[in-house]
Amino acid sequence: MSASISAPTIEVRIPTILRPYTNSEKIVSAEANNLGELITALNDKYVGLGERLLEKNELRRFINIYINDEDVRFMGSLAATLKAGDSVTILPAVAGGRK
């Protein structure tokens, strides 16, 4: 499923470990109305990236994705909606530091 023509362009921050898929780009962009569409659109541009983020159409356990700093797992996961100006950050799961 591809994003509709009117879908907003979303900026996505890519962690070091996934940059081999994005020609070393730190920030990439794609058009999408929700997170699922965004990952599909990203995978069209950067083949193989989608598989690193999803497993059986769910977010992988050690992948965290944030829309404007908020974890998408608490916003409907792949159904989380996106609007113009939203910023998406992908990060591997890491534990807290000094706690």
Partner 1 sequence: MTRYDSLEASLGHTPLIGLPKLSPKSQPGKPAVRLWAKMEDRNPTGSIKDRTAMAMIDDAEKTGILKPGATILEPTSGNTGISLAMVAKVRGYNLVCVMPENTSIERTQILEMWGAKIIYSPAAGGSNEAVRVAKELAEQNPDWVFLYQYGNPANTLAHYQTTGPEVFEDLPTVTHFVAGLGTTGTLMGAGKFLREKNPNIAIIAAEPRYGEVVYGLRNLDAGFVPELYDASNITRRFSVGAEDSVRRVRELLEIEGIFAGISTGAILHAALGVAKECVDAGVGADIAFIVCDAGWKYLSTGVYGKDSDSEVLDGQLWA
Residues binding partner 1 (CB under 8 A):
15-17, 52, 60-64, 66, 69-71, 73-74, 89, 91-99
Task: Supply the minimum distance, in Å, between the C-beta of residue 39 and partner 1.
Answer: 15
Determine the Cα–Cα distance for residues 87 and 91; give it in Å rounded to an integer: 13
Q: Would you give the end-to-end CA distance of the chain in angstroms?
A: 43
Cβ proximity to partner 1, 4 vs 58, nearer residue: 58
- Measured from the CB atom, the residue of 9 and 89 that comes closer to partner 1 is 89
CB of 93 to partner 1, least distance (A): 4
Which of these, 74, 52, 49, lies nearest to 63 by C-alpha position? Answer: 52
Q: Which is nearer to partner 1, 4 or 47 (CB)?
A: 47
- In the complex, the smallest distance separating the C-beta of residue 5 from partner 1, rounded to whole angstroms, is 31
CB of 73 to partner 1, least distance (A): 6
Phi, psi of 20 (to 5 degrees): -55, -25
Find, among 15, 10, 51, the residue nearest to 32 by Cα.
Answer: 10
Backbone angles phi, psi at 92, to 5 degrees: -70, 150
